[in-house]
């Protein structure tokens, strides 16, 4: 078995009592780092980074060098999955993703591919292999994918939205079609995540970024069965499930076959702890906007947050991806405060 | 005192046991109605409707004629408040509001006006007077405003956003400035709402549309003190407070000086009932996307929702504004199901 120089994240997930919580940041490989911005300025766009294993590897490792965080997360995009299924997208500067074609009919869903061999997911798999080599055991590497409903949102809507009302319309107006699409996304995701594990990732995180537009009924019907399939298929690797804005459904997460639950910054830690008890490791949930504050406030709030979780079943992270214009000094104060903390 | 032909809404808010819950829809005056679309097609834009009392009156009454709902809500926009304070905005078709100038510095906040006499809020006040006349007591008329933090979001950010990270940055990085701005918005809002009451509205609703990007700490610090001021200033009129995505702060709403709490579609009704007990009337919370379903499903889900609230302290509404492309037949099924229901 692989020997890691820093295995704090894995020991925490395994339930060991550790000296301090591990820390990493969602979107740590990105615009907060000057070396990322310098590299990005030379490229045609975001997708060139995602699709070039050498470059994806380079930006994955940048935050390990610059911030000394306890884990790397492979630089990629949840939208490589719909692309592998046949829907290409563009990443439009300052606007976000855009899919020229969307799916709404049975014919369009039937046409979608479930890749099971060579696909355009390969560049991420190559990037993972290369990153594992380059990391040389410094820290664990996290792989990831989007949860089926979040991917459905983009495939139906074609772009970001505040309400994803077209996606929700599909759930209500054409539930069978929605299930058909969700199953295809699930099958693709399981294939993709298994490839990631084979390539060497140490932990998987599943992001349900748009869970917050649903409610308990819809979540139990259209999300949980697929998330459960994915968790069960990945039972041999530490698994983190992060559903943003889904506190309404937390009590259903207790029985998921996963070790860790990610929390966004809006939830009350005490309430969450009373739901999960000691059954799950919890990850989060510092408000990314608080990193705009001064360093004294950041340090105090970080310690206050760690204490609110109050035991060693905690991975420190933000409650959302770090905002691109966050001062690097604020990020470093956050990380260093955790690294100097002792239970 | 004014005699209303249909006072079901007011009796429900007053705590009377009624034969059925009253029903109205957020954004009922809008694109779901063919007569609205016909009128709108003749105009230069959305703001012409807001700023022309005769037209605002006309579209306010359209859903009473077409849907026979139990209340009218004055056709206006929460952004008339920042405009009255000196920040004009444009409403860009299919994109939403845009403020050419925003506020971020002390000087910019100091420059903002708190109107206390003639202002560009007058067109809404005129529209209310005219609507009261035209309604002639058919149903109560609801007035409204945005909650201070939601207005701050637009004033700082200048447009819609998924995260309102610039607004949240102000709270953390410049808390005194944020409080200064929130107080000015609060003073303007109280002035504006009192004018609405003098013009004849029967109920006030305060919308905290972007509450969901905060958390309990921030909400207690930057929202509750101002919402409390507004509730206390309006204590002689039935008051509804609707904070979308703020279930994390519900326990703090119990002691607000208001009769009704609006609920979005993501919350679990049983959990909310256990928080508020019998202390508040609850308004909501049908998923607006469910109106895309077929009429049998809509009718069943509507009755199920009414039963989940389970007593007469309930005003039926959606959990969010009705989506513009919702079929009118679905809306009518929803309204008629409530009107035929008996406790």
pLDDT digits (tens, 9 = 90+) for A251-271: 999 999 999 999 999 999 999
Confidence of residue A1 (pLDDT cuts 50, 70, 90): low
Query: Residue B163 is encoded by which pair of tokens?
Result: 């995260």
CA dist A311 to A241, A277, A305, A333, Å? 20, 11, 11, 22
pLDDT at B2: 80
Q: Which residue is catalytic, options B7, B20, B70, B77?
A: B77
| Other beta carbons within 10 Å of B21 | 26
pLDDT at A93: 86
**Mean of the pLDDT values across residues B194-204?**
98
Query: Between chains, do B169 and A289 touch, taking CB under 8 Å as contact?
Result: yes
Confidence of residue A94 (pLDDT cuts 50, 70, 90): confident
Return left, alpha or beta for B293; rule: phi > 0 is left, psi -120 to 50 is alpha, else beta.
beta
pLDDT at B1: 61
In the A/B pair of chains, how many CB contacts fall below 8 A? 78
The Cα A78–Cα A144 span in angstroms is 8
The Cα A21–Cα A36 span in angstroms is 27
Please indicate, yes or no, if residue B3 is contained in any of the structural domains. Answer: no
Residue with tokens 């508020």: B276
| Other beta carbons within 10 Å of A250 | 18
Secondary structure (3-state) at A30: coil
**Mean of the pLDDT values across residues A29-50?**
96
The Cα A203–Cα A272 span in angstroms is 23
pLDDT at A306: 98
pTM to 2 decimal places: 0.96
Residue A282: pLDDT over 70: yes
**Mean of the pLDDT values across residues A191-210?**
98
Q: Which residues of B touch A292 (CB under 8 A)?
A: 168-169, 172-173
Q: Which residues of A touch B265 (CB under 8 A)?
A: 215
Query: Between chains, do A248 and B267 touch, taking CB under 8 Å as contact?
Result: yes
pLDDT at A298: 98
Show the domain range for A18.
8-340
Give the pLDDT confidence of B287-323 residue by residue, as tens digits.
Answer: 999 999 999 999 999 999 999 999 889 999 999 999 9
Does A244 touch chain B if contact means CB atoms closer than 8 Å?
no
Give the pLDDT confidence of B2-61 residue by residue, as tens digits.
Answer: 899 999 999 999 999 999 999 999 999 999 999 999 999 999 999 999 999 999 999 999
Q: Which residues pair with B208 in a beta bridge?
A: B243
Return left, alpha or beta for B310; rule: phi > 0 is left, psi -120 to 50 is alpha, else beta.
left
Does A267 touch chain B if contact means CB atoms closer than 8 Å?
yes
Cα atoms in the Cβ-side hemisphere of radius 13 Å centred on B282: 29
The Cα A207–Cα B124 span in angstroms is 44
The answer to whether the CB of B167 falls within 8 A of the CB of B102 is no
CA dist B77 to A163, A226, B35, Å? 19, 40, 20
| Domain count within chain A | 1
Secondary structure (3-state) at B186: helix
| Other beta carbons within 10 Å of B2 | 10
Q: Which residues of B touch A248 (CB under 8 A)?
A: 247, 266-268
Q: Which residue is catalytic, options B154, B192, B219, B226?
A: B154
Query: Between chains, do A162 and B163 touch, taking CB under 8 Å as contact?
Result: no
Among residues of chain A, what percentage have pLDDT more than 90?
Answer: 96
pLDDT at A116: 86
Which backbone phi and psi does A267 adopt, to 5 degrees? -85, 150
Does A263 touch chain B if contact means CB atoms closer than 8 Å?
no
Does B162 touch chain A if contact means CB atoms closer than 8 Å?
yes
Query: Between chains, do B215 and A287 touch, taking CB under 8 Å as contact?
Result: yes
Tell me the catalytic residues of A.
27, 31, 40, 77, 154
The answer to whether the CB of A173 falls within 8 A of the CB of B293 is yes
Confidence of residue A274 (pLDDT cuts 50, 70, 90): very high
Query: Residue B155 is encoded by which pair of tokens?
Result: 């004033």
Please indicate, yes or no, if residue B1 is contained in any of the structural domains. Answer: no
Does B252 touch chain A if contact means CB atoms closer than 8 Å?
no
pLDDT at A340: 98
Cα atoms in the Cβ-side hemisphere of radius 13 Å centred on A206: 38
Among residues of chain B, what percentage have pLDDT more than 70?
Answer: 100
The answer to whether the CB of A295 falls within 8 A of the CB of A329 is yes
Please state the ipTM of this predicted complex. Answer: 0.94
CA dist A308 to A273, A286, B16, Å? 10, 11, 43
Q: Which among A165, A266, A290 has the least Cβ separation from residue B289?
A: A165
Q: Which among B171, B212, B323 has the least Cβ separation from residue A266?
A: B212
**Mean of the pLDDT values across residues A67-79?**
98
Domain CATH number, residue B58: 3.20.20.210
Among the listed residues A255, A243, A124, A244, the one whose alpha carbon sits nearest the alpha carbon of residue A188:
A124
**Mean of the pLDDT values across residues A212-221?**
97
Confidence of residue A12 (pLDDT cuts 50, 70, 90): very high
Does B97 touch chain A if contact means CB atoms closer than 8 Å?
no
């Amino acid at each position: 078995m692989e020997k890691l120089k820093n295995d704090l994240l894995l020991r925490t997930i395994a339930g060991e009592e550790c000296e301090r919580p591990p820390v990493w940041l969602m979107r740590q490989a990105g615009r907060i780092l000057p070396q990322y911005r310098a590299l990005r300025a030379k490229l045609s766009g975001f997708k060139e980074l995602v699709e070039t294993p050498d470059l994806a590897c380079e930006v994955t490792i940048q935050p390990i060098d610059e911030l000394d965080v306890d884990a790397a997360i492979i630089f990629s995009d949840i939208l490589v999955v719909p692309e592998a299924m046949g829907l290409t997208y563009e990443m439009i500067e300052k606007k976000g993703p855009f899919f020229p074609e969307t799916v709404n009919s049975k014919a369009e869903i039937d046409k979608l591919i479930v890749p099971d061999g060579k696909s355009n997911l390969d560049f991420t798999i190559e990037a993972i292999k290369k990153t594992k080599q380059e990391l040389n055991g410094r820290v664990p590497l996290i792989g990831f994918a989007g949860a089926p409903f979040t991917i459905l949102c983009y495939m139906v809507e074609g772009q970001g939205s505040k309400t994803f009302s077209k996606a929700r319309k599909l759930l209500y107006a054409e539930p069978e079609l929605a299930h058909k699409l969700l199953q295809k996304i699930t099958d693709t995701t399981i294939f993709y995540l298994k490839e990631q594990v084979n390539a060497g990732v140490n932990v998987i995180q599943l992001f349900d970024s748009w869970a917050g537009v649903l409610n308990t009924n819809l979540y139990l019907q259209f999300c949980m069965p697929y998330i459960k399939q994915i968790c069960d298929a990945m039972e041999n690797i530490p698994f983190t499930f992060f559903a943003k804005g889904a506190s309404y459904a937390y009590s259903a997460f207790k029985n998921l076959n996963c070790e860790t639950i990610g929390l966004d910054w809006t939830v009350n830690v005490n309430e969450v702890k009373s739901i999960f008890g000691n059954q799950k490791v919890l990850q989060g949930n510092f408000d990314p906007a608080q990193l705009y504050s001064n360093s004294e406030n950041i340090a105090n709030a970080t310690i206050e947050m760690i204490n609110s979780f109050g035991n060693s079943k905690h991975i420190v992270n933000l409650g959302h991806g770090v905002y691109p214009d966050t001062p690097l000094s604020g990020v470093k104060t956050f990380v260093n405060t955790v690294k100097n903390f002792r239970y």
